[in-house]
């Protein structure tokens, strides 16, 4: 039985989340707290396996609490955040500090929203309760040299006819940061699906853009996929790769959930398999569920090099595991090896 602590200044949120989580046979909310000060007192006697945390609370904010927890005893933390713009920015900061998943709560109709998504909430809490923290805290790689300086690489490697597609979910925000920071400006164009709620991906892309040598943007239809550019699918919309003349471009569109996700990794991978074939590489990274496994297999069958993150470096070994089970991964590597394979 995994022990869960819910910290939120809303009595309604604490009550509903407790009821939802306790419906599971393998999860139990053993304590709730109105703010981090009360939570820290309760944690002195019994430490939780996973924490569901609001950000804006009285006496101590969630970010300060998160930093304290990660320094004292790293613990899986799920942010339960509002979709307001300020909440979005603070939530992204929390993810950079070590939180591994986000449950978005609307400003109105919170109780109804939580009850309508209770199955997803339980799945998130269950996955995070067994997550392996510290897997993304590998030493940052030096930026890889430009293609022109790497022995054995031909000039064609730096043209727009080579692309890489990446899919990730739980734990992926930090994993992407590790990979993208190591890439040179001359790396092949990259398209990414990271499971994130609406309104978060634009800020996420802007944050990565400020940290990386490559350009990182949120996808719009018609964006060219060119060397040195990373394009991230917007939350709530699917991303595909299309062809315009001799160029690869993006197609962004609204559509039904695929594998319980929008954007879906499978949607992206299948489009890359069809449009790019052997001119592409596919990378599936940390995350729960099976989104992307079948799409990666399609890419492999069409001649692409396919890569899965290994269990040892994955926060949640769900998506890569499912891809490996299907035989979809040509290579299985640690997080710190992925940037090098993308750059080759």
Name the active-site residue from 195, 223, 271, 313. Answer: 195
Tens digit of each residue's pLDDT (9 = 90 or more) over 196-229: 988 899 999 999 999 999 999 999 999 999 999 9
Closest CA to 267 of 237, 289, 288, 243: 237
Confirm whether 35 is a catalytic residue: no
Closest CA to 55 of 102, 12, 113, 17: 102
**For residues 90 and 279, which has the higher predicted lDDT (pLDDT)?**
279
Confirm whether 213 is a catalytic residue: no
Q: What is the rounded distance in angstroms from the CA atom of residue 60 to the CA atom of residue 190?
A: 39
pLDDT given for residue 154 in this prediction: 31
Residue 59, phi-psi category: left (phi > 0), alpha (psi -120 to 50), beta (remainder): left
Domains of the chain, each with CATH number or no CATH: 2-129 (3.40.50.2300), 147-343 (3.40.50.180)
221-234 residues labelled b (16+ CB within 10 A) or e (exposed) = eebebbbbbbbbbb
Name the active-site residue from 24, 81, 82, 169. Answer: 169
Tens digit of each residue's pLDDT (9 = 90 or more) over 140-180: 445 565 543 333 333 333 334 799 999 999 999 999 999 99
**3-class SS at 305?**
strand
DSSP label of 228: T
Confirm whether 169 is a catalytic residue: yes
Q: Give the lowest-confidence range in 80-94, 103-117, 222-236.
A: 80-94
Q: How confident is the model at residue 108 (pLDDT cuts 50, 70, 90)?
A: confident
């Amino acid at each position: 039985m995994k022990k869960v602590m819910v910290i939120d200044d809303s009595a309604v949120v604490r009550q509903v989340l407790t009821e939802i989580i306790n419906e599971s046979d393998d999860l139990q909310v053993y304590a709730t707290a109105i703010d981090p000060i009360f939570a820290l007192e309760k944690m002195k006697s019994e430490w939780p396996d996973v924490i569901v945390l609001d950000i804006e609370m009285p006496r101590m904010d969630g970010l300060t609490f998160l930093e304290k927890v990660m320094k004292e005893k790293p613990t899986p933390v799920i942010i339960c955040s509002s979709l307001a713009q300020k909440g979005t920015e603070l939530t992204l900061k929390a993810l950079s500090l070590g939180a591994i998943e986000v449950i978005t709560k609307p400003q109105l109709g919170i109780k109804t929203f939580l009850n309508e998504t209770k199955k997803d909430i339980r799945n998130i809490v269950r996955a995070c309760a067994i997550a392996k923290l510290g897997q993304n805290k590998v030493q940052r790689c030096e930026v890889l040299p430009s293609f022109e300086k790497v022995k054995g690489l031909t000039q064609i490697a730096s043209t727009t006819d080579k692309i890489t597609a990446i899919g990730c979910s739980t734990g992926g925000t930090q994993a992407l940061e590790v990979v993208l920071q190591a890439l040179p400006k001359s790396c092949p164009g990259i398209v990414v699906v990271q499971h994130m709620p609406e309104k978060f991906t634009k800020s996420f892309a802007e944050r990565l853009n400020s940290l990386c040598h490559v350009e990182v943007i949120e996808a719009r239809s018609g964006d060219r996929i060119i060397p040195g550019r990373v394009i991230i699918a917007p939350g709530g919309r699917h991303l595909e790769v299309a062809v315009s003349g001799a160029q690869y471009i993006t197609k962004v569109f609204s559509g039904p959930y695929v594998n319980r996700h929008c954007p879906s990794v499978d949607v992206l991978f299948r489009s890359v398999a069809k449009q790019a074939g052997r001119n592409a590489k596919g990378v599936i990274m940390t995350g729960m569920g099976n989104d992307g496994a079948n799409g990666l297999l399609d890419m492999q069958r069409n001649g692409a090099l396919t890569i899965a993150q290994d269990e040892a470096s994955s926060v949640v070994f769900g998506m890569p595991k499912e891809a490996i089970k299907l035989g979809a991964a040509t290579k299985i590597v640690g997080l710190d090896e992925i940037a090098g394979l993308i750059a080759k």
